[in-house]
Structure 1
Amino acid sequence: MVNARVMTVWLAVAVGGAIGSMLRYGIGQLTTNVLGTTPVLATFTVNVSGSFLLGIFYTLLTTDLLLPLNYEF
C-alpha cells in the first residue's frame, strides 16, 4: 500500500507540472501574439525567464530565507 506522504509528493509534482506547462504555453502565446514574434523567440523568452526565476527561487531556498537549512520534507 502506498502511504499518504508518497501520494502527496506525487500530487505536488503533478500539480506543479500542470501549472508550469500552462504558464509556459500562455506566455509563449502571449509573446507570439502580442509582440508579433516568431515561436522560436517566444520559446527563447520563456526559457530565459524561467531559468532566471528558478535561479532566484533556488537562491532563496539555499540562503535560509524561505526555509531553514535543517528543514525536512
Structure 2
Amino acid sequence: MEIVLVLIPLSLILLSVAVLIFRWAVRNGQYDDLEGPAHRILFDDDLAETPDKTASESRAESGRASDKDSSA
C-alpha cells in the first residue's frame, strides 16, 4: 500500500511533463504542416540535376549505354 504513495505522485509528474512537452511542440509549430513531408517524398530529386532531360529519359539512355558496353 505504501507503493501507491510513490506511484501516484510519480505518474502525475510524468503526465505533467508529457503535457508540457506537447504544449511546447504545438506552440513551436511542430504540427503545422502534417501533409508536406508526406508529399515531399513523392517528388523526384533527379530532375534538379538534369533540367533538360526527364529522369526516365536519362535512365533509358544509361540502360542503352550499358547494353552496348556488355555486347562489346
Please indicate the TM-score interval, normalised by the length of the shorter structure.
Answer: 0.3 to 0.5
Larger % of helix: which? 1
Q: Which has the larger radius of gyration?
A: 2
Return the structure number with greater relative CO, CA threshold 8 A, min gap 6.
Answer: 1
- TM-score, with length taken from structure 1: 0.40
